[in-house]
Chain A
Amino acid sequence: LNAQFKRGILELCVLKELLEKDMYGYEVISHISQHLDVNENTIYPILRRLTKDGFFETYLKESNQGAARKYYKVTSQGFKHYLYLRDEWDAFIGGVYQILNKGGNNNEAILRRFEKSTK
């Protein structure tokens, strides 16, 4: 997939994770990498940029180990950005499914149609 496109999806995922609860950097990374195959170095620039854009606020909180960690929190502007990206995503993926499901999505039926047309 196109890198920018992938990045947009990751932005949406990072926003969603942080909408559920405030997290520190590594926590976001490990949550996302449970579901998606991503490198640490793709998530950090997203956290940083969205913070700069005013979509996240950060604050420091002591951890059990003592050292303070930087927590990220979604701002109301960030929530709006989430809604915007989510809309875009739904529209895009909806379009993809409309194409893929044209004439039914049963693979056997598609194969039959394909074989018939190539005969």
Chain B
Amino acid sequence: MKQYLEDLKKALSELEVPLKEVEEILNDHREMIESAIEDGLKETELVEKFGDPSIVAKAISHDYESGDDVDEEQGYRLYKSYEPSSDQFDLEFKSINDALIFKTTKGLNVEVYVKHLTHEEDYNIEYNNNVLTIKNKVKKLFGIPKSRKVKFKVMVPATLTLNKLKAGTVNGKMHFKGCQSKQLELNSVNGHIHVKSWIDHKSHISTVNGNIHLSDLTTDEFHSSLVSGKGKFKNTTVTTNAFIREVSGNVTLNEFTAESLKYHSVSGDLSGKEVYPKDLSLKSVSGNIHIKNKKKDHSINILKKSTLSGKIVIDA
């Protein structure tokens, strides 16, 4: 067993799995092998039963790699650069596991960068009539696409007018940073959605299990729906109506201004600091709502405040 674990350790280190992870993987294997030996496995059958350490390491590290972290912007390669045909731009992104970073650039071309794109034929990537389309063509086989998780980074010239940006994913993460658009429509099942420093007109952002993090968003219309994901909205300004719907995850608002704010929840809690809508409407079944404001010169008109068993406290 000692030799097996040593070989596994060496193989994992060679694949650049972080040391902390290696320790954990080795402990898990020590435990599993001990259990197997108690169960009657002979030391000589180890490799046969548990597999060659180098293959085991590969299977684990492959997983480790695809545990995606889009924040890390290293290692992308330029896939294609398109010259814009007008000053308008639309995005349509549809994927299962792929991650997306969307940003502006000082350059003049629309650029698509990729990481881990090993099966180009599985994707439909094109730029036509001002619309950039990135679609995973692979039919969903049981929720598991044939391809690996690809990471896309789209850089759009800041001079373009962004019309409709529509992006949907099942498991991928999406980051949208520093742009101005007319319509932002983001959907995800398990993937997290981050929007930072953004000016929009009509924003629809929804997830099932994924979290939604917004910071420095200014928009005219805001609609967000979550099921069990957490919502963190920081420094958000909505010039007309904001509607947030939550089922069981919690929502945190920090500096949230709107003409009207409607919040509906089943069992999730809402905790707000510096929340200043002119009109406020709150509805929950068992979730608690707590809003705490420091500035006293803003009056909030409470249109509705209903809960079945939750607690609503407005400290303003």
Contacts and interface: CB of A to CB of B under 8 A. Distances in A.
A16 interface: no
B55 interface: yes
Interface stretch (B77-85, B128-136, B141-149, B299-307): B141-149
Interface string A25-48: 111011000000001111011001
Contacts of B72: none
A31 to B, nearest CB: 12
A113 interface: no
A25 B144 contact: no
Nearest to A80: B209
A117 interface: no
Chain B interface helix/strand/loop/mixed? helix
A2 B29 CA distance: 27
Contacts of B159: none
A5 B34 CA distance: 30
Interface in A1-37: 2, 4-5, 7-9, 11, 24-27, 29-30
Interface string A45-86: 100110011000000000001010110000011001100110
A39 B55 CA distance: 12
A48 B60 contact: yes
Given A5-B142, A8-B141, A44-B60, A26 B36 contact: yes
Contacts of A39: 49-51
B59 interface: yes
A26 B32 contact: yes
Interface string B1-28: 0000000000000000000000001011
Nearest to B27: A70
Contact of B142 (A30, A80, A92): A92
B51 A4 contact: no
Contacts, number: 90
Interface residues of A, number: 36
B144 A4 contact: yes
Contacts of B189: 84
Given A4-B144, A4-B146, A49 B63 contact: yes
B31 A65 contact: no
Contacts of A52: 67
Interface of A: 2, 4-5, 7-9, 11, 24-27, 29-30, 39-42, 44-45, 48-49, 52-53, 65, 67, 69-70, 76-77, 80-81, 84-85, 88-89, 92
26 contacts: A2-B141, A2-B146, A4-B146, A5-B141, A7-B144, A8-B143, A8-B144, A24-B31, A24-B35, A26-B31, A27-B35, A30-B39, A40-B51, A41-B50, A42-B59, A44-B59, A44-B60, A48-B60, A48-B63, A49-B63, A69-B35, A70-B31, A80-B208, A84-B143, A84-B189, A85-B142
Given A26-B39, A39-B49, A45-B60, 20 more contacts: A4-B145, A11-B144, A24-B31, A25-B31, A25-B35, A39-B50, A40-B32, A40-B49, A40-B50, A41-B51, A44-B59, A44-B60, A49-B67, A53-B190, A67-B31, A70-B28, A81-B190, A85-B142, A88-B142, A88-B143
